[in-house]
Amino acid sequence: MMNVNEQDIIQFVIDRVADLTSRPELAEELNGDSPLEDAGVDSVLLVNLMMQIEQQYEIFYEDDELLQENFATARLISQRILAKRAVQTEV
């Protein structure tokens, strides 16, 4: 499993959001605490983002994690990814 840190993941999420919304300027405008909903991330884009994250970071979101509040900002997403990967490493 590759080594990643919070900032790398935040940048990945922001880049994916810019791509999924077809708004490249968001890559510069967003930061880790920007609400993704305000950037135009609706539920369909969010599911796309979740699937790309699962693939990129080799994690799997359980059903009860699929809540908008868990994906509200790039930082919250990053923290959850790191927590999930830490559990996987322990196992």
Partner 1 sequence: MKQAHCFLNGLGYGLEQAGWDERPLYIGAWDAPFSVTEDGKLTYFSADITPSEYLRLFTRLYGEGAVEWYDYGAEKLVNLKKFLEVLRRYPELPVLVQLDLFHMPYQKRTFQTMHQPHFVIVHGTRGDQFVVYDRYFEWEGLVAASHVHDAFLSNELGGGLLLHPEWLHAPDAHEVARIFEDTIETDPGERSLTSTVRRRIMQTVESPDMYPPGALKDAVSQLGILAKRKYSYGLLYQYFSEALNQGTELYQEQLEGFIRMWSTLAYLVIRTSMPGRTGEIGLLVDKVEQLHRTEQQLKEELIDVYHRWKPRFTC
- The single residue among 27, 37, 52, 79 that binds partner 1, judged by CB under 8 A, is 37
Rg of the chain on CA atoms, in Å:
12
Query: For partner 1, which stretch binds (CB under 8 A), given 3-11, 63-71, 74-82, 83-91?
Result: 63-71
Distance CA 43, CA 48 (A): 9
Query: For partner 1, which stretch binds (CB under 8 A), given 6-14, 24-32, 45-53, 80-88?
Result: 45-53
15 binding partner 1? (CB under 8 A):
no
38 binding partner 1? (CB under 8 A):
yes
Cα–Cα nearest to 9, from 87, 76, 78, 55:
78
Distance CA 70, CA 25 (A): 24
